[in-house]
Structure 1
Amino acid sequence: MSVRSLTRAVPVTGGRPPGKGGRSPGKRPYSAEGGQGRAALLFLLPALVGFVAFYVYPSLRGAWISLTDWNLLSEPRFTGGANYAELAGDPLFWRALLLTLYNTALNLVWQLSLALLLAALMHRLTKSVVLRATLLLPWLVPNVSTALLWLWLLDANLGFFNQLLSSMGLSTHGFFNSPSEAMPTVAAVTAWSSVGYVALLLYAGMLQIPAQVYEAASIDGAGEIRTFLRVTLPLLRPILALVLVVSVIGCFQIFDTIAVTTKGGPINATKVIYYYIYQEAFTHFRMGYASAMALSLVLVLGTLTYLQMRLMRASSSDLG
């Protein structure tokens, strides 16, 4: 029997269905009137209270402080847009922003390259749970501990790497003490600590790609590299967009690694925007100016996030 004959065999009756209001008896609709909405609001209430208390109110308070001159001891004095005018002509702010962008670019190149390689190897060669857990360990270690570890390993006099270079007859390096090497070294340390986590995200995205797609590519004669470039990467676009957004925000928020290893030096070579905000707020006690920089950073990150989401078309997937 065809589908058309089945639909013809089902009688269509007119009038109102049984039950009050056109509903079947004994069935209650899912609606806010039945208390469902109030129950949902009750469960969301703790999160909403926390969001307002720890995000909305501090943001509004910070916006107000950015319009004042406040040293944490006296009452804030309203100055209007004076902090933003000073910010526009501050060479240290623009240098810190450029250094942050430089660190972000280095971090993304190293992190994504290694993460894609690790994810592809896991996807094609092994699915060991132990290996995945091992890759996640550096990300679980606090950033302060990671920075201290690499500070000792790369020490110019007693560090393991410099001792290894010296034993090979090569010159030693002050990785964190050189103005030209300090920022790449910091970027390498932060990339090392997060590459395993990013690799697991990409690996999870690869597992969502149907095996039939790879079989079709193999039948067409595509090799491993061509399959990765033409099949895997395009289908990973939503995951890559997520990784890029999270990584860019994380790179802009780098602070603890700088505070432990270089403290913004040498010669301001690693004074990124977060460390500059910290110095202005808690060293020079210029809370208004620091708040103005923080709000400017929010605008920069919001713009970058919007551009990434639009360019990567994060809301759509080729798997659909």
Structure 2
Amino acid sequence: MSSQVSAQSAIKTGARRSRRLGDLWVALAFLLPSAVGFVVFYLWPTIRGFYLSLTDYSLLGDAQFLGFDNFQRLFNDPLFWNSLRVTLLYVVINIGLQTVVALALAVLLHRLTQSVTIRGLVLLPYLVANVVVALVWFWMLDYQLGIVNQLIDWIGLGRIPFFGSETWAIPTIAMINVWRHMGYTALLIFAGLQMIPKYVYEASALDGASEWRTFWRVTLPLLRPIMALVLVLSVIGSFQIFDTIAVTTAGGPVDSTRVIYFYIFELAFERFDFGYAAAISVVLFLILGGVAMAQLKMLRAGDSDLS
């Protein structure tokens, strides 16, 4: 009798193992396209980029190994430091405005309306291609023919060279991208607001807290995980600004909008200095990795005040 029980147990164990093995092969089959895409379009280019950063490569001949010469050149390159400074200025303006506007928009959506139509309208600018948005604003803000400057002139103020001034160029580009991305960022924050239980607000109201006090003492602390995600994504995306500048200022005037991505593009595809461009890309990769880790650590993204 015991032998029959053992045999049945062995049969069941074998069946479970074969079923698990079958599920494993099915899972691998579904993962294979993504894995191939990751290796071809992300992993291999990253490895090759690290290799090219140690070489002198210009598409016209074989790569010559230089070691860390490109990185030594980078530290003595005033254009690199200028591009990094300009990029940081853009990031500060873009993130500051975008976060504040998106947070206010998300709170209004959460408190005043649950309409799917309004959410769609808020998201609409994000669905338009960035190049199209940049060109439309470029025409609207044109010094001579732009409707914005015509309105400014009509009310008696002096016209503003939005894209032609070293002072105005980066803030203008930041405002354009805030307008495009604020709806998407607001919907991410809105999703976080919906996860906050209603009884928390009911308890705050019973304690006599005002709306403003509730926002600062209840809403913002409970939004910390989603705000950490939003800030990390926004900062990384801001460092990657390229297309708006490429179709408007092209790095001018006087290098005032030559952000680091545009400088890398110029080095690689206009000067064909791929090795040096790859070295700057590696430095940018390390900067973004450090910034993302620091943000997640400081904002305690893995913790929630609800637990």
Question: Considering the TM-score relative to the shorter chain, is it more than 0.5?
Answer: yes
Residues 32, 24 of structure 1: alpha-carbon distance in 2 compared, 3 angstrom cutoff: closer
How big is the shift at 1:78?
1.4
The counterpart of 1:47, out of the listed 34, 44, 47, is 34
Which residue number in structure 1 is paired with residue 125 of structure 2? 138
The counterpart of 1:114, out of the listed 95, 101, 108, is 101
Query: Across the two proteins, how many residue pairs are aligned to each other?
Result: 304
Deviations 1:205-258 (A, max 9, x none): 101100000000000111111111111110001100110010001100000000
Are 1:172 and 2:159 counterparts? yes
Q: One-letter code of the match for 1:36? A: D
Residues 34, 231 of structure 1: alpha-carbon distance in 2 compared, 3 angstrom cutoff: same
Which residue number in structure 2 is paired with residue 161 of structure 1? 148
How big is the shift at 1:310?
0.7
Unpaired segments ≥5 residues, structure 2: none
TM-score, normalised to structure 2's length?
Answer: 0.95
1: distance between equivalents of 2:6 and 2:161? Answer: 82
Residues 312, 31 of structure 1: alpha-carbon distance in 2 compared, 3 angstrom cutoff: farther
How big is the shift at 1:199?
0.4
Deviations 1:69-126 (A, max 9, x none): 1111111111111111100111111111111111111011110111111111111111
1: distance between equivalents of 2:192 and 2:222? Answer: 8
Which residue number in structure 1 is paired with residue 176 of structure 2? 189
Q: One-letter code of the match for 1:195? A: M
Residues 128, 31 of structure 1: alpha-carbon distance in 2 compared, 3 angstrom cutoff: farther
Deviations 1:146-192 (A, max 9, x none): 00010011000011110001110110001010001101111111111
2: distance between equivalents of 1:258 and 1:173? Answer: 18
The counterpart of 2:247, out of the listed 254, 260, 263, is 260
The counterpart of 1:65, out of the listed 49, 52, 63, is 52
Residues 173, 123 of structure 1: alpha-carbon distance in 2 compared, 3 angstrom cutoff: same
Unpaired segments ≥5 residues, structure 1: 1-14
Q: One-letter code of the match for 1:49? A: V
In structure 2, the residue corresponding to 1:35 is in which secondary structure?
helix
Which residue number in structure 1 is paired with residue 261 of structure 2? 274
The counterpart of 1:235, out of the listed 222, 237, 251, is 222
1: distance between equivalents of 2:150 and 2:8? Answer: 84
Q: Which has the higher helix share?
A: 2
Question: What value does the CA root-mean-square deviation take over the aligned residues?
Answer: 1.9
Are 1:101 and 2:83 counterparts? no
Q: One-letter code of the match for 1:232? A: T
TM-score, normalised to structure 1's length?
Answer: 0.91
The counterpart of 1:88, out of the listed 75, 78, 102, is 75
Are 1:75 and 2:59 counterparts? no
2: distance between equivalents of 1:117 and 1:306? Answer: 26
2: distance between equivalents of 1:22 and 1:227? Answer: 60
Q: One-letter code of the match for 2:93? A: L
Residues 181, 20 of structure 1: alpha-carbon distance in 2 compared, 3 angstrom cutoff: farther
Q: One-letter code of the match for 2:173? A: V
- Which structure exhibits the higher relative contact order, with contacts defined as CA atoms closer than 8 Å and separated by 6 or more residues? 2
Residues 295, 32 of structure 1: alpha-carbon distance in 2 compared, 3 angstrom cutoff: farther
Which residue number in structure 2 is paired with residue 147 of structure 1? 134
Q: Percent identity?
A: 50
Which residue number in structure 2 is paired with residue 125 of structure 1? 112
